[in-house]
Amino acid sequence: MLRGLTLWATRPHHYVIMAYEWCSVICGKYRDLEVVETLLVLSLQIGFRSQDPVQQRVGPKLFHTRHHQSMVDCVFGSQEDEVIADFLHAWTSQGPSHGPHTSLVMCAEHLVGLPISSFSSPRLRRLVVQSVGLIGYQEFEKIGVESFVNLLNHLCVSAHDVDSRPNWTGLLLGVVKSPEGRDRLSHSHWELLLELSYCSRYRDFSDYDPRVAVALQDAQEWVKLAYWICTIWIQWPLNLDEISRDLEHGMLLLFRQQPGSIEKLEEWMRRLGRSIPTVFQGICEQGRLEEEQRSISL
């Protein structure tokens, strides 16, 4: 272990100062050599503060131990943005293909509790977005959808921020199926779901939930309903020629309440390079006919 520290010490000092600080804490707390060495690897990885998390990910494979919960609590308890960013960088450095790491999942409750001021740090914000995508919706649902949606709204995530589009598509679909998620999720994230849906098409449409459209109608959330219907247009399987009555009713109601929404939806589809599914074209024509009849009656 001492030989390893000597090798690391030959690197630029700003790489290892924090690593040595963590080594001191770890070695002073745990007497078991195996645990010390495992956490030592983590502490050295944390020391790579100057690495850009969007660059190629490198580093040793990190392992979870039962002692990491204390380290998670200690890191977030410091309330130091860069320290938290270092820690998240360590556990996201393996990349999305490895899925959420046990120690990263343990950060979920702390992430939703971060103050808004933390996101003024571009590096920490980027790493939080990456961590959220890796952790996934189900872990945050256990903590509370309302708290999680507040975190998303503070982050103001865009398609440019997203590291794994399929992960984020599934995450946002999980949010909008929840009553708290539908009510609180910002319009920009409904638009993000639409953009990601085009790039993350599913092999089936098992994620479609007719209750979402009905709930948005009842709440008269016409902007969100427009985003949701366009998302459905993109995800709708090409070999299906039927549509639920609830969705058809929601589309016609949207067209009646929001004149020009047909053209808006069609423009979104053109911008995303998609054609309107045949099953929806008849509903659009009916909506146009009703709009013409209303104009004549006026």
Cα 228 to Cα 246: distance, rounded to the nearest angstrom = 13
Cα 146 to Cα 37: distance, rounded to the nearest angstrom = 39
Pair (117, 34) in one structural domain: yes
Q: How far is CA 262 from CA 210, 218, 249, 259, in A?
A: 20, 20, 14, 8
Cα 197 to Cα 9: distance, rounded to the nearest angstrom = 47
Pair (15, 125) in one structural domain: yes
Q: What per-residue confidence (pLDDT) applies to 94?
A: 57
The pair of three-digit structure tokens given for residue 199, joined into one six-digit string: 């790039």
Pair (133, 214) in one structural domain: no
Q: Is residue 20 part of a domain?
A: yes
Write the secondary structure of 201-260 as one string of H (helix), E (strand) and C (coil): CCCCCCCCCHHHHHHHHHCCCHHHHHHHHHHHHHHCCCCCCCCCHHHHHHHHHHHHHCCC
pTM: 0.76
Pair (215, 77) in one structural domain: no
Pair (6, 125) in one structural domain: yes
Q: Is residue 162 part of a domain?
A: no
Per DSSP, helices labelled H in the chain are 2-9, 13-29, 33-46, 68-77, 81-92, 102-105, 108-112, 122-135, 137-143, 145-155, 165-176, 179-184, 187-199, 210-218, 222-235, 245-257, 261-271, 278-297
Q: 187 lies in which domain range?
A: 183-287
Pair (139, 3) in one structural domain: yes
Pair (100, 207) in one structural domain: no
Per the structure, the count of domains in the chain is 2
Pair (104, 190) in one structural domain: no
Q: What per-residue confidence (pLDDT) applies to 209?
A: 78
pLDDT tens, per residue, the chain with 298 residues = 434 433 333 443 344 445 545 655 665 566 554 555 556 556 655 555 555 555 544 444 555 556 667 777 777 887 888 878 877 887 786 554 455 567 788 899 999 999 999 999 999 999 999 999 999 999 999 999 999 999 999 999 999 999 888 889 989 999 999 999 999 999 999 999 998 887 655 444 555 678 898 899 999 999 999 999 988 888 776 666 677 788 888 899 999 888 889 998 888 888 888 888 888 888 888 888 888 888 787 6
Say if residues 8 and 19 touch (Cβ distance below 8 Å): yes
Q: Is residue 165 part of a domain?
A: no
Q: What per-residue confidence (pLDDT) applies to 151?
A: 96
Q: Is residue 159 part of a domain?
A: no
Q: Is residue 167 part of a domain?
A: no
Contacts of 20-23 spanning 24+ positions with Cβ under 8 A: 20/47, 22/46, 22/47
- The candidate with the shortest Cα–Cα distance to 277, out of 205, 209, 217, 169, is 205
Pair (2, 137) in one structural domain: yes
Say if residues 134 and 111 touch (Cβ distance below 8 Å): no
Amino acid of residue 129: V
Q: Is residue 176 part of a domain?
A: no
Say if residues 143 and 109 touch (Cβ distance below 8 Å): yes
- The candidate with the shortest Cα–Cα distance to 195, out of 84, 107, 274, 87, is 274
Pair (139, 193) in one structural domain: no
Domain final position from 111, 143, 175? 143
Pair (57, 119) in one structural domain: yes
Q: What per-residue confidence (pLDDT) applies to 280?
A: 86
Q: What per-residue confidence (pLDDT) applies to 179?
A: 93
